[in-house]
Structure 1
Amino acid sequence: MRVTIYAGSAPGNRPAFVQEAAAFARGLAERGIEIVYGGGSVGLMGVVADAALAAGGRVTGVIPTSLAAAEVAHPSLTELHIVDTMQERKSLMAALGDCYVALPGGVGTLEELFEVWAELILGHHRKPLAVLNTDNYWSRLLSLVAKAGHYGFMSPEESDSLVAVSDVDGLLALTQHWVPPAPRWRAEPSVDELAAHG
């Protein structure tokens, strides 16, 4: 199993962010679960990589050339993919993972989270999606999502498809019981498909 982790390139200003990111990455590594992440050695990204590697885990990074210096590409990863663009980075990270987890982060983390979530809702993949809700970091987002459902902009199963977890056990429970939402838009069946079903 491979978990794609989205995380900030800064560590945040509370010790809990670093502590829980490290504990989460270490817990994955100890269970033999590979991590895919943004390839940097700074911020929570670096914390995730360092903790997993120290625990004997496999860590694959994906970083664009333009950020390899700015985010200081991690020198000790199991595997590092250097790509040309941010879109290639996001696409490869999404393709490599069996599920997605967003740790606290800024606009880049939000972009990555929302992109894979939109793709889930559109039916382009069926992989579980979670946020590690350290210090209630994601609670206001989850409240906003509930409001979107309340006002009819999302179905209940769509708004429930972003799940908050507090640790690796919570993530594993999610993956074991995961039921993806039905795709938002269903293609009309072809004449041949209609004929095949009588």
Structure 2
Amino acid sequence: MFTSLCNQVFSCSIQDYHVKDDVHQPAANPYDKNSIEHLLYLKNWIDTVQWHLEDIIRDPAIDPVKALEIKRWIDRSNQERTDVVEYIDSYFLEKYKTVQPLPNASINTESPAWAIDRLSILALKIYHMQEEANRADADATHRDACQRKLDVLLVQRQDLGAAIEELLADIAAGRKYMKVYRQMKMYNDPSLNPVLYGARK
């Protein structure tokens, strides 16, 4: 199943990141650049780095200049994340381009890649909740609470995976069709953000 492949690649990315656990380390994507696995690994690597940037920026003692630097890094990361999601959707558009939608075919509330985006975030939640459930320096109450949350996250991943597989099967059979709206993020665009284009006046 495609979602099994996703979970396998996401796990690889997360494990690779945590060897050094450093937001500055470059990604060492092990997959062929023309493969969907390469895009899935890149997607999760961006998510993983951003996860840790979000942790760092919440340090109450962080230097304000450093915090602003990280906030802008997160903004760039959000744009990169969106770009990669669109590349993944392009993969599905190409894969299913010859499918003729049935007369009663419907559109899904989100594209396959945006659902896979949520699967990537879930992989990170599961990894870090597992860490908390096993934390040696935490008390049993904390570990038990985290284990209960982990159990819910694992069910959530199973349910989301099943929904994605059903969506892909429906697209392949013509019961649903893809219609991808390219994201139009305005805050990063100097021509659309009034603070940015106002600064040029």
Greater share of helix:
2
Tell me whether the two structures share a fold, i.e. TM-score over 0.5: no
Larger RCO (alpha carbons 8 Å, 6+ apart): 2
TM-score with structure 1 setting the length: 0.29
TM-score with structure 2 setting the length: 0.28
Larger Cα-atom Rg: 2
Greater share of strand:
1
